[in-house]
Each structure stands twice: as C-alpha cells, then as structure tokens.
Structure 1
Amino acid sequence: MTKPDAPPSLKQATLDAIGYVCEEISPKDLEQDQVNAVLTAVVQGMNHVENSSGVRLAAVKALYNALDFAETNFQNESERNYIMKVVCETAISKEADIRKAAFECLVSIASTYYDLLEPYMQTLFELTANAARADEEQVALQAIEFWSTICDEEVAIQEDAEESGDVSSACHFHFIEKALPLLVPMLLETLLKQEEDQDEDDGIWNISMAGGTCLGLVATAVKDAIVPLVMPFIEGNITKPDWHSREAATFAFGSILEGPSVEKLAPLVHAGFDFLLNATKDQNNHVRETTAWALSRAFEFLHSPTSGVSVVTNANLPHVIEIMLTSIKDSPNVAEKICGALYFLALGYENAGSMSSVLSPYFGQLVSALLATADRSDSNNSRLCASAYETLNEIVRCSSIADTLNMIVLLLQEILKRLNQTFEFQITSSEDKEKQSDLQALLCGVVQVILQKFSNCDDKSVIIQFADQIMVLFLRVFSCDSSNVHEEAMLAIGALAYATGPEFVKYMPEFHKYLEMGLQNFGAYQVCCVSVGVVADICRALDDEVLPYCDAIMSALLKDLSSPELHRSVKPPILSCIGDIALTIGEHFEKYVPYTVPMLQGAAELCSRMDLPDDDSTEYKNELRRSIFEAYSGILQGVKNSKSELMVPYASHIFQFAELVLRETSRYS
C-alpha cells in the first residue's frame, strides 16, 4: 500500500487481507505503531482520486474491521477529524456499494465512539437524512441503522445511570432528543415506503420495517417527547383511502407504545382502541397484519389489570375476544400476530389472582381456536404453529384452575393424542424430520405447562391418572435424534417428577439411562443443562429413594465438571445440583466428598483468576460463586447431623473463599 506503482489488483488483495486479519485478531494483539500503519494504509486506499472503486471498497471494509483498534487514534482530535472526514466523503461516493460500506463504518463508530461524536452530528444527520430519503435501499437501511445504534447507546446509558443511581456521571449527549424535530419526520416518511408484496416471513428487511424499528427505539430513548410528534401523522393517515397510509399510521402507533408513560399514552390508546379493533376487518392484508401487531403491543404495554390501567376492561373484554376469535381465522401472517395479541392479553391476567377468572368463560373457545390454528395447512410458516402453542401455554398458565380443571384435563388428553400421532409421521426427508421434532417439542412444552398447573392442586389424582401415558410418550421422544425435543421432554419430565412426588420412582429404572445420556450430552449443552435441573427435581421428589441412582448421576456430573468440552454455562447449575443431591441423601454423600470438594476448590480458584472485561464476565463469575456456596451449603446441611467431621478438613478453604467474596466489590448483595 506504500508503493505508488502497485497495481490495483495487488492493492485490493492487500486491503482484503488487512480487513480479514483485523476481523480475526484482538486489539491487544497490535502495537500502536502497527495500528497507525494499518489505518494509514486503509485511509490511503479510500482516496477516490488515486484508486479504483474495487480498491476503495476493499479499503472501507478493512476500515470497518479496524475501527476497534483505533481507540488511541480517535482520542486524538486531529486524527479523529481526518478519519471522520474521509468516511463522510466516502459516504457520498457515486458507487452505492461503497456508500453502503461507509455508512456501515458510521454505524460501528456510533457504537464504539459515541462519546466522541458531538462535533460531527450535524454533518452526520444531513448525510443519513439524505440517504434515508433518496438513496438506494441498501444505503438507506444503513443510514437508518446509524440512528438505531445511537438510540441503543443512549438507552443503555440511561439504564446504567438508573441502576447506579448516579445520573450526573453518565456520558449522555442526548443526540436523539436534540435531533427529534427533524429525525421523527424523516422516520415517518420511511413508513410510507412499504413494498406491495412485503412479507416479514421471507426474511427481507426493507426501509419501512427499519424505519418503524428505529421509531420504536426513539420512543424508548425520549419517552413522552415523541408522542406529540407522531400523533398528527397517525391522525392524518389512519383513514386515508390508500392502504400505504393506513398501514404506516398503524405501524407508527404500535411502534411508540414502549417508552412513553402510561399516563401519556393511555388516553390516546383508549380513544383509538375501538378503531384498532375495527381495523382488523380492513380490506388490505398488510393493514390487518399491522393492526394485529399494534393490538399485541397495546396489550403488552397497556394491559395491567392489577394496576388499574388497562385498555381491556370487563366491559369491552367480550368484544375483544370476539374480534380475536374471528381474526385468528384470517391469513396466516395475520393469524400469527393475533396469536401474539392473545398471548399478551392472557399474560396480563397471569398474576392477577382472582381476576384471572375473567377469561374462564372463553377458555374453551380460545383453546379450540388455537388448536385449530396450530393445525392449519394453508401456511408453510412454522412460526404460526409455534405461536399458537406458545399462546395456548399462556392461556393455561393464566387460567383459574377451579374454573377450568375439566377443560384442562380434556386439553391434556388432546395434546397426548397429538404427541402419539407424531410417531406415525412418514419421514421421507430431513425437512420432514425437522417438522416432526419441532412439533414434538411444542407438544412436550404444552404438557409441561399443564403439569405445572396441576402441581398447584391439592388433588394429585389427575396427574397420577395420566402419568404412565405421559412417561411412555416421553421415553419414545428420547428415541428421536433431536436435541430440541430432548430439551423440552426433559423439562416436562422435571415437571412430572415435581407433580407426582414419590410416585415418580417407578419410572426411574427406565428413565435413568436417558437422564445419564442427557447429562453427558456436551454437544447440545442446553439439553445437558436441563438434565441437571431434572436431577434436582427428582431429588426433591424422591428424597432418599434416589440413592440407587446417585453413583451414576454423580459420576456423570463430576465427569462433566472435569471435561474441557463442557459449555461454561452448565457449570454453575451442576455445582448447585450437587448441593441438592447432598442435601437429599445426607450422610450417604460421604463417599462423594473426596471427589466433589476438590472440584469446588478448583471452581473457587478459577473465580479468583477470572478477568472481568465486561458485564457478562462479571455476571458469570458471580453466578459461579453463588453455585459454589449452594453446593457447600447443601453438603454441610446434609452431613451436619451424623457426619459433620467430614467437612472439618475443608473448613479453612471455605472460610477463605467466603472472605475473598465478601471483600470484593463486584459481588451480589
């Protein structure tokens, strides 16, 4: 790159190589003079006078990957000014792919160097506004993404300040608030650029979707201030003959429901609620779909019966249910959004105590409608089936067991019948196999929720009545090769163990081998993690009757802990589970102590050596520490009555560990 006579092909290949290297290595791998050399080469490559378009594109992409290395350079005002000047000039190149790459750089700069952007915001607004309004879609999308990124940064700053209680120390420049009068109209314009055949299911992201998403982020960032800027747009477009206008107005309405206060939104939503319900009958499919989505947002953020603030009242609930039951028969894309609306409608009643019984009169109709929706053959979109079953789960969770017990029993019978039928599917392709396992996973999920519901009943006879049938089906599920369905089946078995208590022991001779397989499933660590949770459920259910299986279980758990293949997220649950086992079997844990305590000491040593570069690492370290304490606590309580001397040799280490944690400021309270 420093040779003036280097051919364009060599320059382009060199910049590609620099970009790939920067993508793969860490910023700490380069000395500052090396970073300077990289940036010099890249910026030279972006020169539009000296280089071909291929070289310039490679240079912009290389810069994108090198931005993480440039912290020192960005702290230097003259160097930062030069980098920003070159990127902004590149953002108005005549080639669209180069403009797109330049805006991608600006998005990354917004995320990485937010606190240094203030001198450039006027220029950046003009660049992004022009691109969003008039440039090619691939460029416009990145221009909108720039503002979405600024929103993300400012929301994160606000949340951190609220958590710490020190708002004054937050480096918050309020870019969104300052740009609001110009930014919101620009985003509202994008909402009117829908495509005639747009469909979220095809995975294609367009300007309208990006603008609406950004508008929602703006609402989260500035809260009440956005409402007066958006309402005139909604009121001016909601009844226009052109469907683009009606859909855009509805999209805008739904987008701003998260962020502003309930006091600010409630009057507006109450005033427009009936209009929204009626719009589910709009002649245009896109409008109906967006209306259903807006209703789900209204139920999510403005439906809290216990707080006394809700768009749904006892007076309008029958009409709301009627609309939902009619609209769920609409086209698959609308039906999926209606499932979402029903989900949040039910969720509002989940912790409402006696108020949950207000849905009881509609329980049977809702269940029938959701089962029919899950069975629809007019949709290739598996999300509709999944949405129907997930919503069904929420309907069951929020239901009043006293009012709906008989109907839930009938539902359980229907779900078990459906699960049994999945084994009769003709499997002729990998796609068929995937559909079968996905459906089995969904059905196992419903069974789990029903079992959890029955667990709250004093009368366990219903569960005992179906337990054998449930367990036979679950064991058949384990013969299928799918980690997704194994995870759901394990969760459901945990619920069955909790619900049946000591009665579960009769299933252990057959089930324990699948449990051990789950505990050793390093490849699908979610299954391994869930299996660990099931061990804890079984311990609580069986008490000391779990003893015959403890050797194999403890062997698997200790093998997990010593394996380098184990995903780190599984380690804390395993340590906590060991505490559960020790607490359950008491003095019989003696033979595992010599193998277990060194593992706990090793985990404690790992905690003391861990770097904490980010919040995730800190959270994991605290989670690991908490699980070590839970393991020690379970062991100590388990052996205290008859074998307390077992832990005397380890007492000083336990005290040292406790003291170390108490001295650290990053611990949980």
Structure 2
Amino acid sequence: MADQIEQLLVAASQADRASEQTLEQYVEQNFAEFCRALATIIAEEQRGMQGRQMAVLYFKNLLAGQSAAVQTQKHDRWKALAPEVRQEVKEKVLQTLLNTQVAGLPHFCAIVAAEIAVIEMPFKEWPTFSQSLAITANPNASEAVKVAALECLGYTCERLAQVEELVPNVPELDAGVVDSMLTTIVDGAQPDKSDNMRRAALQALKNSLIYIRKNMETKAERDFIMTAIAEASRSQDESIRQLCFGCLDIICDQYYDFIAEYMTHIYNMTTDAIKSDQFEEVKMEAIEVWTTLANVEQDMLFTERQTQSMGFPLERAPCPNYVMAASEHLLPLLLQTLTQVEEDVEEETWTLQASASNCVELISLTIEGRILQFVVPFVQQNILSPDWKFRDASIVAFMSIQEGCPTEAIGNFVRESLSVMIGAFKDPSPVVQSSAVHCVGTMCKLHLDALQPQAVRGILEAFLEKLSEGPAMSSRCCTGIYNVAKSVARQFPGDPPNSNLLSEPMRYLMPKLLALSDRPDSNEHNLRVASMSAAAALVSASAMDVQGIFRELLPHIIDRTKLVLNTHVISQEEKDAREQVLGSLCGLFQTLYQRMDTADVIDRTTEVMNLLMQILQVNNISCHEEAFFAVGAVAANIEESFLVC
C-alpha cells in the first residue's frame, strides 16, 4: 500500500486531480492503514525525498484544521485510532527525525511530530515526546537533528496556541512536560551552541513563553531564561538578536510583575540596540519592548485611577512607572530614530519610523502631558531643518504625542506650530507634505478647541487646495476635513446652531468632495470612501444657515445614486467599487434626512425610498446596513407620512 500511495502523492503534487481523489478515498475508507502507510513512506530511507516530503505535508493536512469544527473533527479522527496504530506512527516519525541522514527530512518530520503532539500531549497521551527531543547536549546527534528537535518543540507550542484559540477547553500541559521542553529549549539557546541551534531554540522559546508561568514564578528558573535572552542580545547574528527582543517583548507583556530585577538590563539591551544595531528589524523589535511596556503601564494606571475614584483599595502594587523613569533617555533615542525614513515607501509599510512613532504615541498615552518636556524641544529644533528627514521627524514626533496630551497641556503648542505645519503642506519633500497633512488632521481630531475659528478656516482652505493632488494626499485631506467636522459636531451636541464655523466653507467643500468620487483613481488609497465620509460628516455637523445648500444637494445625490445603480459592471473590482459608492450614498441620504426640514424633503422622499429599496436588492451586507440606517432617518424625518411612501 505504501508504494502505491507514494506514487499517488508524487502525482498529486503535480495537480493530478485523479490522484488527489484516490488519496481522499483511501483516507475515507481506511484511515488507520493510510496513516501507517504515510509513516512507512516517511521512515524508509530508500524512498525518494519528494515522496517523503509529500507524505509529511499530506499527514500534516490530515491533522490540522483552519476552523474549530474541522480541527475538532480531525483530532477526533486521530484519537479514534487504535493505540497501537498511533504508537507505531509516532515511533516511525520521531525515529526518522532523530536518525535520518537525509538532508532536510528532520525538519519535515518535526512538523508532523508537532501536529501529533498537539493532539496528544494535553491529554497526557505521549509522555515520552519531550524527553525524546532532549538531545541538544548529545554529542552523537548531528546539528541538523538537534535543530529539528528544537523546531519540533517550537512548532508544538505554536500550533498548540493556535488550537487553543480555535477549540475550547483544551487541557493545560502537564507542568513536568513544560519543564522538560523548556530545559531543552533554553539549553539550545546557550552561547556555546551553533547559530542554527540558537535560532531554532529562541524561536521555540518565543512560542513557549505563554506556557511557562510557573517557571517564571521561580527565581532560579526565571534567571536561567532571562540570562539566555541577555546572552542572545550579544550575538553576532542579527536574526538571533531579533528573536531575543521578540522573546523579551512577550515577557514584558505576560510577566510584567516579574521583571523589576531585570529592568536595568532590559533598558541597556534595548537602548543599545535602538542606538547602535545595524539592522532595522532588530531595532524595531527592541522598540517594541518599550511599546509593550507602555501599553501595560497605561492599562495599569487606568485601572488604578478607576479603582481609586470608586473608593476601593488597589488589588496590586502601584504601577512602578518604568516608562516614565526611562523617558528622559529613551525618548531622545526614539526621536532620533524618527529621522531614519526613506522616500518612496508604501504608505502601509511598517517601517522603523512607524515603529518609533507608535512607541512615542504609547509613551504619551502613558505619561500624558509630561512628555512635552522631552518632545517639544526636538520639534522646535528640527521643524525648519535644512534636512527633510529632520523636518519630517519633528512633524511625526508632534503628531505622535497629540493623543496622549490633554488639550490644556498641548493647546499653546498647537496654536504656535499651526502656521509652520500648514506651510509644510508645500514642503519640497512629498514625505514631509504627507506627514504635515496627517499631523494637522490629527490636531483637528483631538485639539480643535485650542484653535480660533479663523485658524480652522485656514486649515480647511489648505486641505481644499491639496484635494487636487494624488489619491493618497487627497484621501488624507478628506480625513482631515472629516476630523474638523466631527470636532465641530461635538461642540454642539444638541440642536444645530444657527451658524457655525463650517457654514462658509461648506459651500466650496461639498462640491469638491463629491467630485472626488468620480475621479478615475478614486478607488486608490480609499479616496472614494474618505471623500463621501467627509461630505457626510460635514452635513452632520452643519448649522441651520446651510439648508439652502442641502436643498440643492439632495437632487444631486438622487441623480448620482440612479447613475450608479444603472451602471453596468463586469469585473469583481467594478462590482466592489459600485457597492462602495452605494453604501456611501446611503450615508449621505441618512445625514441629509437627519438635518433637513421635512418640507424640503417630502416631495423627493418616494423617489429616495425607491432607490433605497433597490440598494437593498444588492448582494452586499454593508450596503444593506447603510440602506437600513438611511431608511430609519427617512422615517424619523417624515414620521406618519412614511407609510405613504
């Protein structure tokens, strides 16, 4: 049987559908014998590598599922096999991993062994698994086999975490099993081991960290783990250093209460890497450690404030404020890192600058207005630098602290910097322009109350001028306009005022925003949705003195909706774009009916309802949601007349 299955596996790898179907029939008709045959193919050294690899991959797919139902079904099928069949398969796979001389095969065997271990170890059904892989100190084992053993432990922890997310009530691993695995893993990470072993060990350690709480609670074991990580930070291999900080990041998140005695070392390791490491990936992982610390402390401080406000005693020791203590020296490093930016980088790419900016933002949310003393001098010193990278860094730095600083703390700086920020809209560097628009948009979202009405109008005029540029810039300006509108709306939470600072700009902004959705490039950088969302936000924030604009706008939106509904689409991309526009138009109908007088809409309401009913026939859930919201707004506006529509 093994010979025939090997032939079918090789054929199936060439997309031979008949062979695939025959293999599926074998699985359904005699799963036990099929598993034994796969194990035989994997174990027998005289067989070709292709067939053995395919047997491994097919076996893995028999055991791994992408959903809870499928994963449970596959695990149950394996556990239904006779114990002797499972034992035979496990022995063949594990012995092949530990003894084969074929290059690359131990790695593949590690994958299958891990999948089986994930099923059995939580139920204490493979007690010898972890001990069998404790070979990192065995002088008779080859490096390839030692690496594969470490990979197997890493895969096991990784897959177990994935299964636990999918399938409820998976039993915890036995403490003895965790101890055995951890001992092997940390031994493999020691400086006297090869770089290949250390990489595999540190990846396995990273995957295992969520299972080692009991070990971290014991100082001697904790020291053993933290020493191995500290040693890895000094490796000449950049991937080992990167894994070191990845482990440290998880430890700071999962075991924050145990890191006090190591904080000096953590600070030194991370800041040395941020300052001096030659590889961006390592710098980013080191920065992420502080992002995580800031996130943890932000949550702790919030809980403390909530607890104290309710008059309850704290359930744990007060936050030690490691982030605040480190800020004086850490923030200058992060701000300097913001200057490490390149042109022509995709907007959504996670870069070193993005990592540093995110960390500064999290620190600002943690220490709040106290961050100004560290960041404001950097901004003032570099905002007019002849080097565009420093100009950009100063803008990004200012943007990064805005959410963490209350308006009363940052308001003066917002007012003082606004003219320079708007001037940067015309900076020679496109990167600086983009950052400046984003920064001003963030100001408008968080600190509009700090600005005078005339300053806000100047911002809107600056955004308007940039709307004629490329889709990325136009979309960002739309977001800025949206933020202004939302902030103005918050200033008048009740009935709309007779007039507000949007009344005058509304006349020139609304036509421009609606025209953006007709641009050939409006499907790029979310421009179409951004423009329509900004238009809807302007309507929602409007005052009473712009009703005349809305009376002109409603027929325009009706005509536009008819045009879109009657547009013939062929490709999926065209269909998606059409449905996106329809959803946005529903949003405009909703806001218009929420703002306009009944007398101004009643004559067109039957027409609007017919259009909304057509949109409800479109096979798109998002469109349906937007249409129902719009119908609700129509009903609320015209009340008893709604039944006539």
**TM-score bracket relative to the smaller structure:** 0.7 to 0.9
| 3-state SS of paired residue (1:358) | coil
Question: Bigger CA drift: 41-50 or 132-141?
Answer: 41-50
Name 1:263's counterpart in structure 2.
408
Corresponding residue for residue 185 of structure 1: 332
Gap change, CA 1:59 and 1:416, over 3 Å in 2: farther
Closer, same or farther: CA 473–75 of 1 in aligned 2, 3 Å: same
Equivalence for 1:49: 192
Give the structure 2 partner of residue 34 of structure 1. 177
Counterpart code for 2:356: G
Partner Cα distance (1:94, 1:250) in 2: 35
TM-superposed deviation, 1:274:
1.6
Contact 1:161–1:170 (Cα < 8 Å) also in 2: no
Equivalence for 2:436: 291
**Equivalent residue for 2:511, pick from 356, 361, 368:** 368
Instruction: Name the CA distance, whole Å, in 2 between partners of 1:472 and 1:452.
Output: 18
Work out whether residues 192 and 244 of structure 1, in 8 Å CA contact, stay in contact via their aligned partners in 2: yes
Work out whether 1:230 is the aligned partner of 2:369: no
Cα distance between partner residues in 2 of 1:223 and 1:282 = 30
1:328 corresponds to 2:470: no
1:2 is paired with a residue whose SS is coil
**TM-score of the two chains, using structure 1 as the length reference:** 0.70
Match of 1:173 among 306, 314, 320: 320
Output one character per residue of 1:491-529: Cα deviation in whole Å (capped at 9) or x when no partner: 22222233333333356xxxxxxxxxxxxxxxxxxxxxx
- Seen in structure 2, the aligned counterparts of structure 1 residues 386 and 85 have a Cα distance that, compared at 3 Å, is same
Mapped partners of 1:269, 1:167: distance in 2: 38
8 Å contact from structure 1 (residues 349, 356) kept in 2: no
User: Does residue 194 of the first structure (1) align with residue 341 of the second (2)?
Assistant: yes
Tell me the alpha carbon deviations over residues 52-106 of structure 1, each in whole angstroms, 9 at most, x when there is no partner. Answer: 51x4333322222221211111111111111111122223333323322222221
CA distance in 2: counterparts of 1:391 and 1:170, whole angstroms: 46
Aligned-pair RMSD on alpha carbons?
2.2
Match of 1:252 in 2: 397
Q: Which residue identity does 2:448 align to in structure 1?
A: H
Equivalent residue, structure 2, for 1:239: 384
The counterpart of 1:491, out of the listed 629, 633, 638, is 629
Matches within 5 A, 1:580-659: none
> Are residues 1:66 and 2:205 paired?
no
Q: Tell me the SS of whatever aligns to 2:428.
A: coil
Which 4+ runs in 1 deviate beyond 4 A? Answer: 25-28, 166-170
> Does the CA-based 8 Å contact 2:498-2:545 persist in structure 1?
no
* Length-normalised TM-score, structure 2: 0.72
For 1:442 and 1:380, the matched residues in 2 are separated by 13
Correspondence for 1:440: 582
1:464-488 per-residue CA deviation (whole Å, 9 max, x = no partner) reads: 3222222222222233222222222
1:147 aligns with 2:294: no
Give, in angstroms, the shift of residue 179 of structure 1: 0.5
Are the aligned partners of 1:349 and 1:355 in contact in 2 as well (CA < 8 Å)?
no
Q: 1:357 aligns to what SS in structure 2? A: coil
Q: Output the amino acid matched with 2:383.
A: I
2 CA distance for matches of 1:50 and 1:244?
Answer: 41
Structure 2 counterpart of 1:453: 595
Paired amino acid for 1:2: A
Equivalent residues of 1:90, 1:99 under 8 A apart: yes
Deviations 1:604-638 (A, max 9, x none): xxxxxxxxxxxxxxxxxxxxxxxxxxxxxxxxxxx
Closer, same or farther: CA 380–475 of 1 in aligned 2, 3 Å: closer
| Partner Cα separation in structure 2 for residue 355 and residue 218 of structure 1 | 41
Deviation at residue 46 of structure 1 after TM alignment: 2.2
Higher-Rg structure is 2
Choose the corresponding residue for 2:572, options 393, 407, 430. 430
What aligned pairs does 1:336-375 form with structure 2 within 5 A after superposition? 336-353=475-492, 354=497, 357-375=500-518
Contact kept, 8 Å, 2:151 with 2:204, in 1: the verdict is no
Distance 1:149 1:18 in 2: 25
Contact 1:45-1:59 within 8 A present in 2 as well: yes
Matched, 1:24 2:162: yes
Give, in angstroms, the shift of residue 208 of structure 1.
0.8
Match of 1:465 among 581, 588, 603: 603
State which drifts further: 317-326 or 481-490. 317-326
Distance (whole Å) between structure 2 residues aligned to residue 379 and residue 129 of structure 1: 43
1:414, CA displacement in angstroms? 1.9
CA distance, structure 2, for counterparts of residue 276 and residue 160 of structure 1: 36
* Displacement of 1:25: 4.7
Give ranges in structure 1 of 5+ residues lacking alignment.
Answer: 305-309, 508-669
In the alignment, structure 2 segments of 5+ residues that lack a partner are 1-132, 165-169
The aligned counterpart of 1:135 is: 278
Structure 1 position 175, deviation (Å) = 0.8
Q: Secondary structure at the match of 2:501?
A: helix
Distance 1:20 1:234 in 2: 43
Provide the C-alpha distance between the structure 2 equivalents of 1:72 and 1:116, rounded to a whole number of angstroms: 12
- CA spacing shift, 1:82–1:12, aligned 2, 3 Å: closer
SS at match of 2:453: coil
Q: How far did residue 377 of structure 1 move?
A: 2.6
Query: Using the alignment, how far apart are the partners of 2:302 and 2:499 within structure 1?
Result: 32
Q: What is the aligned counterpart of 2:557 among 415, 418, 428?
A: 415
1:99 aligns with 2:238: no
Q: Structure 1 residues 89, 477: CA separation in 2 closer, same or farther (over 3 Å shift)?
A: same
Given the superposition, is the C-alpha separation of residues 252 and 13 from structure 1 closer, same or farther in structure 2, using an over 3 Å criterion? closer
Listed one character per residue, the Cα deviations across residues 22-53 of structure 1 (whole Å, up to 9, x for unaligned) are 32354852122222122223223323434551
Q: Distance in 1 between matches of 2:234 and 2:622?
A: 47
Q: Does 1:119 align with 2:264?
A: no
Q: Which residue of 1 aligns with 2:453?
A: 314
- How far apart, CA to CA, are the structure 1 residues paired with 2:547 and 2:523? 34
Alpha-carbon contact 1:22-1:66 (below 8 Å) kept: no
Cα deviations across residues 352-383 of structure 1 (Å, max 9, x unaligned)? 34385232122111111211233333455241
Deviation at 1:13, TM superposition (A): 4.5
